[in-house]
């Protein structure tokens, strides 16, 4: 890749850091929200791009992270001895046992990544150990998303039901309504994006990353080289789940709400669109994809609410059939065509 392109990340980072002074506070809150989603997208590059595992249930892990932090905020905003409003409306007289530990901030913070990671590891281990792969696996993850969302809606007395959890006031003693809060939150999110990006890049370049790609290309070959491929795939699934959880928690902080409508079948598959558009094999592509698709969604669905689903459907068909490596692949091809003339051929860089 030519030099000027590989240095673009500096520009992107400078712009991201300067954003609070460049754009309106509404736009900043959107950007923060979408950057939180980009963390999930980074996990999908590892899972879908590198390991070739298509999860149609990332919303579940996004939701687990979001609900973990939301439950904490809900509990700390209550006066001593009171229950969240929706529990009182449903006639509950005591906090369910599994809500109790979320009052502890450390537990809630750990749960944001640990809960999705554990659920993801357990679920994927059960399926991968029996060598259920490909389409079958994707269909099962979709069923998981459906179950999760319908459970959240129907167990209204303990989950807040269709409306989800909202109306948060403080986080770790900080007032969420204070003027500095959105900017602080934005930088925290940006920091996590950078961390997730660097961590994923390190993993992809490591022996583990090589093994994941090898498993994607020929799982049998890898198995017959003496590797048990199941744990590698489970780890990839758990990492992607943890990143989804982190993204979900940050999203919840930005949006001030987490609800079943954000975690079910349709949002889960929409998460795949971000990465498909940006480029499933490229970390920066996934981040860009999450931002582009979500800003486009925001623009189009507020201008022409009817049109968004047509656009989304068309984007899906076109990207998958014509541009399977997404925008990142397109950029690389365009840049590469010029670069190939100068450098020696066949030095294809992944």
Partner 1 sequence: MMDLPLLVGQVFNGFSVASLFILATLGLALSFGLMRVINMAHGEMLMLGGYLAYLTFLLVPGPLAILIALPVAFLGAAALGAVLEVTVIHRLASRPLDTLLATWGVSLILQQAARSIFGAIGVSVTAPGWLNHTISIATGPLAGLTLPATRIFIMVVAVAVLLALGLFITKSRIGLLVRAVNQDRMMAAASGIDVRRVDLVVFSLGTGIAGLAGVVLALLGPVTPSVGQSYIVPAFLVVVLGGLGSMVGTTVAALILGMVSALSQIFLDVSTSQVLVLLFVIVFLQFRPQGVIAVRSRALED
Partner 2 sequence: MNAALANATPADPFILKVDGITVDFDGFKAIDNFSMTLERGQLRVLIGPNGAGKSTLCDTIIGRVRAASGHVWLNGEDITALPEFEIVRRGICRKFQTPGVLPSLTVRDNLALAARRDRRWWTGFGHAVDATERVRVDEILAAIGLEDRATTLAGLLAHGEKQWLEIGMVVATGAELLLLDEPTAGMGPNETSRTAKLIKSLLGKHAVLVIDHDMKFVEELGGKVTVMHQGKFLKQGTVEQIRNDPDVAAVYLGRSEREEA
Residues lying near partner 2 in the complex (CB under 8 A) are found at: 203, 205-208, 210-211, 213-214, 216-218, 220-229, 231-232, 235, 346-348, 350
Q: Give the separation between CA 275 and CA 283, rounded to whole angstroms.
A: 9
- Taking alpha carbons only, the member of 348, 347, 43, 50 closest to residue 208 is 50
Is position 316 an interface residue for partner 1 (rule: CB under 8 A)? yes
Among 142, 229, 259, 294, binds partner 1 (CB under 8 A): 142
Q: Supply the minimum distance, in Å, between the C-beta of residue 222 and partner 2.
A: 7
Nearer to partner 2, 302 or 349 (CB): 349
Q: What is the full DSSP assignment across 84-99?
A: -HHHHHTT--S--TTT
For partner 1, the binding residue among 181, 203, 315, 323 (CB under 8 A) is: 315
C-alpha 220/C-alpha 215 separation (Å) is 8
Token pair, residue 132, equals 């259920």
Give, in degrees to the nearest 5, the angle at Cα 111 between 107 and 115: 145
Is residue 41 a contact partner of residue 49, using CB atoms and an 8 Å limit? no
- The least CB distance from residue 320 to partner 2, in Å, is 19
List the one residue out of 289, 233, 253 whose CA is nearest residue 166.
253
CB closer to partner 1 out of 132 and 183: 132
Through-space distance between the first and last CA atoms of the chain, rounded to whole angstroms: 11
Closer to partner 1 by Cβ: residue 126 or 194: 126
Q: Shortest Cβ distance from residue 8 to partner 1 (Å)?
A: 28
Between residue 150 and residue 179, which ones bind partner 1 under the rule CB under 8 A? 150-151, 153-155
Nearer to partner 2, 229 or 294 (CB): 229
CB 200 within 8 A of CB 16: no
**Which member of 16, 133, 261, 292 binds partner 1 (CB under 8 A)?**
133
CB of 29 to partner 1, least distance (A): 27
DSSP codes, 275-289? HHHH-TT-HHHHHHH
Residue 347's binding partner among partner 2, partner 1, none (Cβ under 5 to 8 angstroms by kind) is partner 2
- The stretch near partner 1 (CB under 8 A) out of 122-130, 162-170, 238-246, 289-297 is 122-130
For residues 53-92, which are near partner 1 according to CB under 8 A?
Answer: 54, 56
Residues numbered 210 to 229 that lie near partner 1 (CB under 8 A) are 219-220
Phi and psi, residue 166, nearest 5° = -155, -175
User: Which partner, partner 1, partner 2, none, binds residue 316 by CB below 5 to 8 Å per kind?
Assistant: partner 1
Rounded to whole angstroms, the Cα distance separating 339 from 214 reads 28
User: Is 55:236 a contact under the CB 8 Å cutoff?
Assistant: no
Q: Which does 131 bind (CB under 5 to 8 A by kind): partner 2, partner 1, none?
A: partner 1
């Amino acid at each position: 890749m030519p030099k000027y392109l590989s240095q673009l990340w500096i520009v992107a980072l400078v712009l991201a850091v300067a954003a609070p002074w460049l754009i309106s506070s509404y736009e900043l809150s959107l950007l923060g929200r979408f950057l939180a989603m980009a963390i999930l997208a980074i996990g999908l590059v590892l899972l879908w791009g590198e390991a070739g595992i298509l999860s149609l249930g990332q919303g579940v892990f996004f939701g687990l992270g979001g609900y973990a932090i939301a439950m904490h905020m809900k509990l700390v905003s209550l006066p001593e001895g009171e229950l969240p409003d929706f529990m009182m409306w449903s006639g509950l007289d005591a906090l369910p046992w599994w809500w109790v530990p979320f009052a502890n901030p450390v537990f809630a913070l750990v749960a944001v990544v640990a809960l999705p990671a554990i659920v993801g590891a357990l679920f994927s281990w059960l399926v991968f150990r029996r060598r259920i792969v490909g389409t079958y696996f994707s269909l099962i993850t979709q069923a998981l998303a459906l179950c999760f969302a319908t459970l959240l809606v129907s167990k209204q007395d303990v989950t807040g039901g269709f409306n989800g959890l909202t109306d948060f006031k403080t986080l770790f003693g900080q007032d969420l309504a204070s003027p500095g809060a959105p900017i602080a939150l934005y930088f925290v999110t940006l920091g996590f994006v950078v961390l997730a990006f660097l961590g994923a890049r390190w993993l992809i370049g490591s022996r583990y990353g090589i093994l994941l790609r090898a498993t994607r290309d020929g799982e049998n070959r890898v198995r017959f080289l003496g590797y048990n491929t199941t744990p590698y795939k489970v780890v990839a699934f758990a990492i992607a789940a943890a990143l989804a959880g982190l993204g979900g928690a940050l999203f919840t902080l930005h949006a001030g709400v987490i609800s079943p409508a954000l975690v079910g079948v349709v949002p889960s598959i929409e998460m795949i669109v971000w990465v498909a558009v940006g480029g499933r094999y490229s970390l920066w592509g996934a981040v860009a994809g999450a931002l582009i698709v979500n800003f486009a969604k925001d623009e189009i669905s507020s201008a022409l609410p009817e049109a968004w689903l047509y656009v989304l459907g068309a984007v899906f068909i076109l990207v998958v059939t014509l541009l399977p490596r997404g925008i990142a692949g397109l950029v690389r091809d365009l840049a590469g065509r010029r670069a190939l003339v100068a450098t020696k051929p066949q030095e294809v860089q992944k």
